[in-house]
Amino acid sequence: MTMFADLHLHTHFSDGTYSPEELVAQARRHGLAALALTDHDTVEGCAPTAVLCHAVGIEFIPGAELTAEQGGDEIHILGYLVDIQNRRLLEEIGKFQGVRQNRIREIVARLKQMNVPLESDAVFALANCRSPGRPHVARALVQAGICASLDEAFERFLKKNRPGWVPKFKMSAAAAIELIHQAGGLAVLAHPGLNRTDDPIPGMVEAGLDGIECFHTKHSTATSEHYLELADHFHLLVTGGSDCHGMSKGKPLIGTVKLPYQHVEMLKAKVAGNLMREKSCVKRDA
């Protein structure tokens, strides 16, 4: 029987709506052999999700989706198989969570200037996580009856260059790749088809990028094929996932992108190879 994985999933530890329990129940329903949790700028959900996966025989890949930038554009970098207790990783994402929380306050302040009666505490209460983002503001706007839908909230207020838009400080792509590597993980460019251009990719490869997310809900077949060719050209690993945010974007997306399990094996083989190399270096240095 062919085995499949979904390597891009969110929970309520960032802007998804599922709890780890709901996520794992859905993964089971779709017959996934493996899943990766990739919440935005946090690994908090990994430990509870790992326990739940273990209990039902689903392989768990710890991960995070780091917000970074390259050439002025925001890009997302998936870190897979990271040590979720790595001190520097936790420090850096902790700082970034602070940036996210301040940004919520700034967004709310801008909305207030437009006489939109929203309190940041309402957003924080609704988000109930350390890594809040614009989707939480959008949900709060809907909950308060100010917007009819999440789309309306983004269109009117939250999209780039709309009145409530606040840029966030981001680390460079190279810094994100290094942060993931020093935590023992692999760095994969998320949903490149949603980026403006492929121009940053060679520089990221130079910085040690390990893979490209070729399969994603928002990639057409042609887009996936384009990135499979790029991955082949640069000798990069191939990943894929649904980017499911639970019920927050209409229909849950989990189960719509099925990555053949062989790609998970290749990720694990690379991490194992890196570990072996590290050990032999330590021996040589000793």
The residues of the shown chain that bind ligand AMP, judged by CB under 6 A, are 15, 40, 133-135, 150-151, 154, 159
Q: Give the tokens for residue 228.
A: 């499979």
**Chain residues in the site for Fe ion (CB under 5 A):** 65, 76, 190, 243
Residue count (the chain): 286
Residue with structure tokens 């999933």? 9
Of 12-20, 31-39, 228-236, 273-281, the window that binds Zn ion (rule: CB under 5 A) is 12-20
User: Where would I find the H helices in the chain?
Assistant: 20-29, 46-56, 87-113, 120-127, 134-143, 150-153, 173-182, 200-206, 221-233, 262-285
Q: Give the tokens for residue 65.
A: 């989706």
| HSE-CB of 148 using CA atoms within 13 angstroms | 0
79 vs 133, beta carbon nearer ligand AMP = 133
| Shortest distance in whole angstroms from residue 268 CB to Fe ion | 22
Of 14-22, 48-56, 96-104, 165-173, the window that binds Zn ion (rule: CB under 5 A) is 14-22
Q: Which does 39 bind (CB under 5 to 8 A by kind): Fe ion, Zn ion, ligand AMP, none?
A: none
Three-class secondary structure of residue 41 per DSSP? coil
Question: Are 37 and 286 in contact, with CB atoms under 8 Å apart?
Answer: no
164 vs 241, beta carbon nearer Fe ion = 241
Distance CA 35, CA 259 (A): 10
245 vs 263, beta carbon nearer Zn ion = 245
Q: Does 15 help bind Zn ion (rule: CB under 5 A)?
A: yes
| Shortest distance in whole angstroms from residue 246 CB to ligand AMP | 11
Q: Which does 139 bind (CB under 5 to 8 A by kind): Zn ion, ligand AMP, Fe ion, none?
A: none
Q: Which does 41 bind (CB under 5 to 8 A by kind): Fe ion, ligand AMP, Zn ion, none?
A: none
